[in-house]
C-alpha cells in the first residue's frame, strides 16, 4: 500500500449491523489524496442521485488524509462527508482537528463509511484493527461531555471519540460532529446525518504506526520547517483565532448586527476589545493547548465558575471561544459580554451545535423580533433584543434541545425563514441553506467566489482566499479590481483542496513556507510533488465534489445571494462603506479559466479528459441543471 495510508477503510452497514474491511486502491489515493477527495470519489458512486440525506441511502464518511498522524506540520485533521440535508441535498463535508483523526489511523483505518440506519442507537468501537458495533441505548440523550467521560470509563483513557450531542440525535440541521469534547466538524448539517443513522459515537484506540516513505527525511523537514514559522504563526500562537477579533470587527471583515451594521459605529473599538485577544486570554485559568503534535497550540481552556454564566461542566473548566464563535455570537448579535460567549461555547459544544450556524440563526431571530415580525408569543417570552446576552443564551439552549421556540430555529436560518412564513428575507443571511461565516466579501471580495461557487456554499476554509500561504507567487491585482484574478483563485483554491484532503491543518499551511506542502507530501508518500502537480490534483478534487452537485441538479450560479454580504445596497458607514462586490465578473472569469460552462458550470469534456476524469463525461452530458 502507498505510504501515508493504513491501506483500508471500514464499511459499516448499520441496517444489518455488519462491518467489513475494504482495501484502499493506490490509484484512488494517487488521484484524490484522501479526506474529502477520496470521500467525494467513493460517495459519487455509492450514493444514488436523489437520495434522502436523512435516509438509509445516504452514506456518512469519516476520513483521514495521508499526512494525518505523521510528523507533517500539522497532520491532525479528518473530515466528515456525506450528502447534506442542509444545502439543497448537495455535497456536504466538515473538517476537524484534535486527536481523533490521527488515532483513527492508529486504530488501523484510513476511514469509515456508514450506510443504512440502525434500528436502535449504537456506537462503533475500533480497537487495534478490530471493529464492533455496540449498543448505545444508555448513551442516547447524553451531552458530549458526559458521553466522552462515560466511554473513557468503559474503554480506557487511551481512546479517542467523535460523537453527536442531543442536537444531532434530534436531527437538527444546526448539529455538528464533535470530538475532544470541544472540537467540531461543524458545517453541512452532518451531525443530523449521524443522528438519522442512530449512530451516537465512534470510539477508536490503537498503537499502529502510519507507514511513511522516508522517515528520516520527514523528521529533518519538520525540524527545519518549524524554524521558518512566519505568516499567521505569531498571532495564532499567542492568541489563537481570538487574536483577530477586534481588528476584524473594526476593519469590516466580521459581521456586525446581522451583517447590516458597521463595527466603527455599532460595535466600536472599545467594545470590540471586550471580546478579543488579551481580554480572552486574560480569563481566569487560561491555559493554551494544541491538537495532536501541533506546534502552534491555538486552543485554550479557561475557568468560569461564578456569575450568571458559570460553566456547569468539567468543574467549570471550558474551552476558549475562537474567532467565529466570538464574532457570530458577539458583534453579529451586538453582544459584548465575553462571559456569555464562553457559556454559549460550552452549550454548543455539549449539545453538538455549530457555532457559526447557531450564532447566525440567533441574529436572524433578533432582527425579526426587533422589527416586529415575531413577538414574545413566538419566543417563549424571551426578549430577543440586540445584545441581550441572557436571551441569546436561553435561545441557544432551546435550539440545541428543540424546545419551544427552539423548534423554529433548530434547523438554521433558511428553515426558520420558511417556518415563520418567509418573513425578514433580507435578514436571512445564508447561501443555499448554509449560514455565512464571519468573514465579509466586502472586505475580502474574492470570498464571494468561494461562498457562491464551491461545492459546499458559504465556507471560508475552502477557497484559500482568507490567508495566503507564505511564498506563494500570485499576480499582483488590487483586491477591489474584479477582473484578472482567475489564476490567483485557481492556485489558492486548488492548494486548499489538497490541504483539506491530505489531513493538514489550514493554520499550519498558512504559517510556514508554501513549498513545505509538496516537500512533506513527497517525503511521506514517496512520490515527487511540486506546486504544479498539486494544482492539478486539487482541481480534480474540486471538480469531483462539484460533479456530485451537478448530478443532483444544482447549479451554484442559481444560488441565492444575500445582498448584505456583497453590498447590495452598500453600507453607508464603516470601513467597507460604499462597496459593492462584482462577484459575477470574478466567477465568470474563473469558470472560463478552469473550463467550465459559464451558464451551467458543467465541466467541458476536454477539461474532464485533461484531469483524467473520463468516467464523468456521460453523466455530465445527461445532467439536468438550470442555466443561470
CA–CA gap between residue 206 and residue 343 (Å, rounded): 34
CA–CA gap between residue 86 and residue 172 (Å, rounded): 10
DSSP-derived pairing of the beta strands 299-303 and 287-289 = antiparallel
Crossing angle of helices 355-370 and 389-401, in 10° steps, is 120
Give yes or no for a contact between 398 and 379, defined as CB atoms under 8 angstroms apart.
Answer: no
One fold for 8-205 and 254-435? no
pTM across the whole model: 0.97
Maximum separation of any 2 CA atoms in the chain, in Å: 66
Structural domain spans, the chain: 8-205, 254-435, 447-622
Residue 622 Rama label (left phi>0; alpha psi -120 to 50; beta): alpha
Please report the pLDDT score of residue 1 as a whole number. 56
User: In three state form, how does the secondary structure of 48-92 look?
Assistant: CCCCCCCCCCCCEEEEECCCCCCCCCCCCCEEEEEECCCCCCCEE
Cis? peptide before 74, omega within 30° of 0:
yes
Please report the pLDDT score of residue 115 as a whole number. 98
3-state secondary structure of 573: coil
Please report the pLDDT score of residue 463 as a whole number. 84
Placement of cell 506563494 in the chain: 472
Q: Kindly tell me the burial class for residue 571, based on how many C-beta atoms sit within 10 Å of its own C-beta (0-12, 13-18, 19 or more).
A: buried
Placement of cell 469534456 in the chain: 605
Please report the pLDDT score of residue 116 as a whole number. 98
CA–CA gap between residue 517 and residue 523 (Å, rounded): 10
Closest by alpha carbon to 603, among 531, 535, 545, 558? 545
Phi, psi for 23 (deg, rounded to 5): -65, 145
Tell me the CA distances in angstroms from 476 to 6, 98, 473, 480, 487, one per residue in order: 42, 36, 9, 12, 11
Locate 76 and state its grid cell. Answer: 491532525
Just give the CATH number of 447-622: 1.10.599.10
User: In three state form, how does the secondary structure of 159-176 look?
Assistant: CEEEECCHHHHCCCCCEC
Please report the pLDDT score of residue 464 as a whole number. 84
Phi, psi for 428 (deg, rounded to 5): -85, 90
Please report the pLDDT score of residue 550 as a whole number. 98
**How many CA atoms are closer than 13 Å to the CA of 72, on its beta-carbon side?**
37
Give every residue of the chain whose pLDDT is below 50, as ranges.
none
Please report the pLDDT score of residue 2 as a whole number. 76
Phi, psi for 446 (deg, rounded to 5): -65, -20
Q: Tell whether domain 254-435 is in CATH 3.30.450.20.
A: no
Closest by alpha carbon to 173, among 154, 195, 203, 149? 195
CA–CA gap between residue 74 and residue 502 (Å, rounded): 10
Just give the CATH number of 8-205: 3.60.9.10
The predicted-structure confidence for 416-448, as pLDDT tens digits, reads as follows: 999 999 999 999 999 999 999 999 999 999 999
3-state secondary structure of 378: coil
Amino acid at each position: 500500500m502507498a505510504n501515508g495510508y493504513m491501506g483500508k477503510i471500514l464499511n459499516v452497514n448499520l441496517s444489518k449491523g455488519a462491518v467489513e474491511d475494504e482495501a484502499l486502491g493506490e490509484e484512488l489515493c494517487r488521484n484524490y489524496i484522501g479526506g474529502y477527495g477520496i470521500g467525494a470519489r467513493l460517495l459519487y458512486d455509492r450514493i444514488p442521485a436523489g437520495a434522502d440525506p436523512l435516509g438509509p441511502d445516504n452514506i456518512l464518511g469519516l476520513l483521514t488524509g495521508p499526512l494525518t498522524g505523521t510528523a507533517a506540520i500539522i497532520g491532525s485533521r479528518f473530515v466528515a462527508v456525506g450528502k447534506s440535508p442542509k444545502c439543497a441535498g448537495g455535497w456536504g463535508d466538515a473538517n476537524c482537528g484534535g486527536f481523533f483523526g490521527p488515532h483513527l489511523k492508529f486504530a488501523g483505518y484510513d476511514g469509515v463509511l456508514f450506510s443504512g440506519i440502525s434500528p436502535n442507537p449504537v456506537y462503533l468501537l475500533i480497537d487495534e484493527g478490530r471493529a464492533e458495533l455496540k449498543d448505545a441505548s444508555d448513551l442516547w440523550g447524553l451531552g458530549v461531555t458526559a458521553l466522552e467521560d462515560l466511554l473513557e470509563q468503559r474503554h480506557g483513557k487511551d481512546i479517542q471519540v467523535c460523537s453527536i450531542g442531543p442536537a444531532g440525535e434530534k436531527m437538527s440541521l444546526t448539529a455538528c460532529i464533535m470530538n475532544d469534547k470541544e472540537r467540531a466538524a461543524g458545517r453541512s448539517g452532518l451531525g443530523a446525518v449521524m443522528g438519522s443513522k442512530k449512530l451516537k459515537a465512534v470510539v477508536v484506540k490503537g498503537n499502529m504506526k502510519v507507514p511513511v516513505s522516508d522517515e528520516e527525511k520527514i523528521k529533518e523537514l519538520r525540524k527545519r520547517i518549524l524554524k521558518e514559522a512566519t505568516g499567521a504563526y505569531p498571532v495564532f500562537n499567542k492568541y489563537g483565532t481570538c487574536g483577530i477579533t477586534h481588528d476584524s470587527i473594526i476593519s469590516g471583515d466580521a459581521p456586525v448586527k446581522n451583517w447590516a451594521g458597521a463595527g466603527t459605529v455599532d460595535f466600536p473599538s472599545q467594545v470590540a476589545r471586550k471580546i478579543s485577544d488579551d481580554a480572552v486570554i486574560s480569563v481566569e485559568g487560561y491555559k493554551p493547548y494544541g491538537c495532536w503534535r501541533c506546534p502552534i497550540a491555538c486552543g485554550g481552556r479557561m475557568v468560569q465558575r461564578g456569575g450568571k454564566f458559570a460553566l456547569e461542566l468539567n468543574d467549570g473548566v471550558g474551552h476558549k471561544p475562537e474567532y467565529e464563535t466570538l464574532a457570530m455570537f458577539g458583534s453579529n448579535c451586538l453582544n459584548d459580554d465575553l462571559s456569555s460567549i464562553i457559556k454559549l461555547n460550552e452549550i454548543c459544544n455539549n449539545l453538538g451545535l455549530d457555532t457559526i450556524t447557531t450564532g447566525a440563526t440567533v441574529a436572524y431571530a433578533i432582527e425579526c423580533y426587533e422589527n416586529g415580525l415575531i413577538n414574545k408569543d413566538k419566543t417563549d417570552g424571551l426578549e430577543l433584543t440586540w445584545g441581550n446576552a441572557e436571551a441569546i443564551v436561553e435561545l441557544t439552549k432551546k435550539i440545541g434541545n428543540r424546545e419551544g421556540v427552539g423548534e423554529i430555529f433548530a434547523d438554521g436560518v433558511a428553515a426558520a425563514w420558511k417556518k415563520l412564513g418567509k418573513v425578514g428575507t433580507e435578514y436571512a443571511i445564508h447561501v443555499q441553506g448554509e449560514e455565512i461565516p464571519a468573514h465579509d466579501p466586502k472586505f475580502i471580495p474574492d470570498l464571494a467566489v468561494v461562498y457562491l461557487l464551491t461545492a459546499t456554499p458559504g465556507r471560508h476554509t475552502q477557497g484559500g482566499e482568507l490567508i495566503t500561504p507564505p511564498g506563494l507567487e500570485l499576480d499582483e491585482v488590487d483586491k477591489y479590481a474584479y477582473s484578472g484574478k482567475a489564476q490567483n483563485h485557481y492556485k489558492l483554491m486548488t492548494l486548499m483542496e489538497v490541504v483539506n484532503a491530505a489531513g493538514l491543518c489550514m493554520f499550519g499551511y498558512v504559517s510556514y513556507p508554501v513549498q513545505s506542502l509538496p516537500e512533506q507530501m513527497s517525503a511521506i508518500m514517496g512520490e515527487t510533488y511540486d506546486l504544479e502537480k498539486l494544482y492539478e490534483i486539487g482541481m480534480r478534487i474540486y471538480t469531483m465534489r462539484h460533479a456530485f452537485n451537478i448530478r443532483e441538479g444544482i447549479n451554484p450560479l442559481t444560488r441565492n445571494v444575500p445582498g448584505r454580504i456583497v453590498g447590495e445596497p452598500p453600507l453607508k458607514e464603516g470601513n467597507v462603506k460604499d462597496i459593492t462586490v462584482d462577484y459575477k465578473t470574478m466567477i465568470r472569469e474563473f469558470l472560463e479559466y478552469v473550463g467550465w460552462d459559464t451558464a451551467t458550470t458543467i465541466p467541458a469534456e476536454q477539461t474532464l479528459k485533461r484531469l483524467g476524469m473520463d468516467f464523468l463525461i456521460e453523466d455530465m452530458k445527461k445532467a439536468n441543471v438550470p442555466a443561470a
